[in-house]
A = this chain, B = another copy of it.
Amino acid sequence: MTHDGRRLRGLRSREAILEQAVGLASVEGLDGLSLGRLAAATGTSKSGFFAHWRDKEQLQLDAVDWAARQWAERVIAPAMAAPAGVRRLFALHEARLGFYGEGVLPGGCFFFAVQAEFDDRPGPVHDRVARAMREWQEFIRRQVAQAVAQGELAESVDAAQLAYEIDALGEMVVVHSRLHGGPDSLVHARRAVLQRLRALCPDPTLLPED
Contacts and interface: CB of A to CB of B under 8 A. Distances in A.
Contact of A172 (B120, B171, B188): B171
Interface string A165-199: 10111011011101110001100110110000001
B185 A164 contact: yes
A12 interface: no
Interface stretch (A34-42, A79-87, A88-96, A129-137): A129-137
A191 to B, nearest CB: 6
A26 to B, nearest CB: 8
Interface stretch (A46-54, A57-65, A108-116, A146-154): A108-116
A19 interface: no
B174 A161 contact: no
B180 A130 contact: yes
Nearest to A31: B32
A169 to B, nearest CB: 5
B175 A189 contact: no
A27 interface: yes
